[in-house]
Amino acid sequence: MQVSGTAARQGNLDLCLEFTDTVDWRTSDHAKDRLVTYADLVSWSQRKGVVDDKEAKRLLRLAREEDVTAGGVLEKARVLREATYRIFSAAAHGRKAGPEDVKILNDYLGRAMAQMEVQMTDEGYKLGWRTEALADRMLYPIAKSAAELLTSERLDRVSECANEEEGCGSLFIDGSKSHSRRWCSMDSCGNKVKLRTYYRRHKKTSGSG
């Protein structure tokens, strides 16, 4: 049986949070879902190294042959994504996750574990993913990533972008030594909030004169 080395290497704790960020401005009234089609899901997975080029082509071909199946996988992906977001948003704000969301994650995790196997390499042994043409195979590393992050020492480093006024909702792992990172990106939300705060203060100061 052939095995995917690319997908097998996904021990990335950030992967599950990057998956939740496929919704832009998710807590605003103009949230934008970037996973509109199954092809979008495959493309995102390919960019993140969850599937390689060969696997991506195989999955897209499978989707063309089984359109109903592909649509069902896209819906599953969204369900997993939203449960994952709620779990880690709760953690970022010091709350416990809802049991129903943990159950959703566990359902996907169980399927993921069933698709893992021990592989022999020249250097020794490693855990890897089977490469059967399963339309939802990109969800396995995501579920595994979420489970590993939840049970890791880095869970208390999970944060949600502080740009609440515009409804960013982006999740990230704060790698700063002082645990003081507030924004998904200083170039986007960080600068926006700082400029907004500056103009408000300037306007208040000008008005008081």
Instruction: Kindly calculate the radius of gyration of the chain based on its CA atoms and give it in whole angstroms.
Output: 20
Q: What is the pLDDT of residues 47-57, one digit of tens each?
A: 999 999 999 99
Q: Are 136 and 75 in contact (CB under 8 A)?
A: no
Domain locations along the chain: 3-174
* Main-chain phi, psi angles of 119, to 5 degrees: -115, 145
Per-residue pLDDT of the chain (209 residues; tens, 9 = 90+): 233 333 333 348 999 999 999 999 999 999 999 999 999 999 999 999 999 999 999 999 989 999 889 999 999 999 999 999 999 999 999 999 999 999 999 999 999 999 999 999 999 998 888 867 689 999 999 999 999 999 999 999 999 999 988 899 999 999 988 888 988 887 778 676 666 654 556 555 655 55
Q: What sign has the CA pseudo-torsion 120, 123, 124, 128?
A: negative
Nearest-angstrom CA–CA distance, 4 and 132: 10
Question: Cα separation of 58 and 16, whole Å?
Answer: 23
pLDDT digits (tens, 9 = 90+) for 94-126: 999 999 999 999 999 999 999 999 999 999 998
Q: What is the pTM of this model?
A: 0.85
The CATH architecture that domain 3-174 belongs to is Orthogonal Bundle (1.10)
For residue 110, give Cα distances in angstroms to 10, 92, 165: 17, 25, 38
